Structure 1
Amino acid sequence: MNELKKTDTDADEWSSLKAYTNARIALGRTGVSIPLRESLQFKLAHAHAKDAVYSQLNLPDLQASLSASGLPIHSVRSQAENRDTYLQRPDLGRLLDDTSTAKLQQLAGSPVDICLIIADGLSATAVMQNAGTVVNLLVEKIRQAGYSLAPIILVEQGRVAIMDAIGGLLHPRLAIILIGERPGLSSFDSMGAYITYAPQPGLTDERRNCISNIRDQGLPPAMAVDKLMYLIHAAFRLQLTGVALKDNDGLLG
């Protein structure tokens, strides 16, 4: 009978697992419901995720965070005129508007090895928090490796595939886009990195490699940069990216 009197506040055997994940486990209960504190935290996390989707790039602050790279920085826009259109028409987020196309046509010069692109994606918050650190570390390592770099391109209302439109105009050997990922209820500030060899319009997703969940509570920026450098070296050696390029460096093993 004593076992039947176990109270709701007794330690849950799953509680120790909470040290290893932000997932909602071992929440406890109050009667047949979850505790009020957990219910409110869920609503707060949902609000953070929704805010991240509608967040905007602060271009002056973002450019300032990238200043240590020493690279020229240019801003462009997709054909999605506003956030609602961006969310309803993913196809427009993959295409540059006419003004941006003309701007990049003027920038096009001698081919370079790598073009770095930063887009808001589905969480400008993630980009504002993580892009500066990743880019500054990455540029330093790219230069040490002897690769040439195009100006940094900042994209508002951009989707991943806009890197192909930009690549088709600037003609880098390889393009990398850092972009805000779809927010989760424990990861509204998660940034992804996609890498494409010989970017050009018409490519599909199997031609890209992705590194996901770049943030302090996920894949730390320094480790993400090491993963990117591995993929860069491998892409130039094999002259490809995508499903044929495997990540075998064991950094996350």
Structure 2
Amino acid sequence: MNRNVTEPAGKAAEAPLRSLRDLRGLTQARIALGAHGSGVPTQAALAFNFDHARAREAVWTAMDADAIREALTQQGLDSLAVRSSVTDRAEYLRRPDRGRTLHADAETALAAAGSGFDVGIAIADGLSATAVTLNAVPMAAALAGRIRAAGLSLAPVVVASQARVALGDPIGARLGLRCLVMLIGERPGLSAADSLGCYVTFAPEVGLPDSRRNCISNIRQDGLSIEAAADQVAGLLRVMFAQGTSGVALRREEPPPVLPMSDGGPQSR
């Protein structure tokens, strides 16, 4: 006997479930590696060792500050170089606190740059010189274009060696910045050793907690594009200048349509 069976709505139209192997092309995460006995296949093991070596290289390789400054000059950006109180890379990894304080010789360079700018950009090696080498100068150039188009004054780009994020606070304070944008190499993972982070701080001063910063991360070829990241930073600057704050106190509502125009030239704080 034939019977008419009504399927629940949408049941027949359901697509078959995709396996993890089907999803490998959508992510760089280590999924569906397969198995060989109690271990992973040789190809997966070799890929792991290669990515681990790239991560170590990103952490231990020194940033070429002179090459960064030369590339900035080619982009029409003035720059200066400073360093933290760290003596070498090993100390940088052991003593994060020293990476947050400026070396004594930085005072002269910062004093010569002037004071009272609307926005400053700092480039720091952080935990990945690879990320800085590949992404920092194009990102700084993209940001500079947006900042200048808004009529805001831009300080010389500060290239900081052996630096942690908070080193931007004394840099911003000495340059009299209304807002600091810190571009820094992020801690490398086993799928991304070239990720650049961006920390934006309104009214930087020594001793600020991290809750006063806003972060945009994963800026790289296979992550957030430089143009998209620069647009996001410009949006943050709009809201920060409008509200006079940054970090957790910032209300990410509908931003003003354009960056606020400067009164003409650097503004003192």
What TM-score do you get using the length of structure 1 for normalisation? 0.90
- Aligned in 2, Cα 1:91/1:226: closer, same or farther, shift over 3 Å? same
C-alpha displacement of 1:246? 4.4
Match of 1:82 in 2: 88
Partners of 2:251 and 2:36 lie apart in 1 by 48
Aligned partner of 2:39 among 20, 25, 33: 33
Match of 2:216 in 1: 211
Match of 1:45 in 2: 51
1:144-201 Cα shifts (integer Å, max 9, x gaps): 1111101110000000000001112111100010000001000111010000000000
Match of 1:226 in 2: 231
Q: Secondary structure at the match of 2:31?
A: coil
Q: How many residues align?
A: 238
Partners of 1:66 and 1:147 lie apart in 2 by 19
Match of 1:127 in 2: 132
Q: Give yes or no for the alignment of 1:65 onto 2:64.
A: no
Partners of 2:137 and 2:111 lie apart in 1 by 26
Match of 1:139 in 2: 144
C-alpha displacement of 1:57? 1.3
Superposed CA RMSD in Å reads 1.6
C-alpha displacement of 1:13? 2.4
**Sequence identity of aligned pairs in percent?**
43
Kept in 2: contact 1:116–1:151 (CA 8 A): yes
Q: 1:203 is matched by which residue type in structure 2?
A: L
1:7-33 Cα shifts (integer Å, max 9, x gaps): xxxxx9211111221000010111222
Partners of 1:56 and 1:45 lie apart in 2 by 19
C-alpha displacement of 1:122? 0.4
Kept in 2: contact 1:178–1:194 (CA 8 A): yes
Match of 2:181 in 1: 176
Partners of 1:27 and 1:51 lie apart in 2 by 24
Match of 1:105 in 2: 111
Q: 2:34 is matched by which residue type in structure 1?
A: G
Q: Secondary structure at the match of 1:66?
A: helix
Match of 1:196 in 2: 201
Match of 1:13 in 2: 19
Partners of 1:27 and 1:248 lie apart in 2 by 42
Partners of 1:167 and 1:108 lie apart in 2 by 12
Kept in 2: contact 1:56–1:125 (CA 8 A): no
Q: 2:62 is matched by which residue type in structure 1?
A: Q
Kept in 1: contact 2:113–2:155 (CA 8 A): no
Match of 1:8 in 2: none
Q: Give yes or no for the alignment of 1:235 onto 2:221.
A: no
Kept in 2: contact 1:69–1:139 (CA 8 A): no
Match of 2:266 in 1: none
Which stretch shifts more, 82-91 or 64-73?
A: 64-73
Q: 1:83 is matched by which residue type in structure 2?
A: R
Partners of 2:252 and 2:86 lie apart in 1 by 34
Match of 1:6 in 2: none
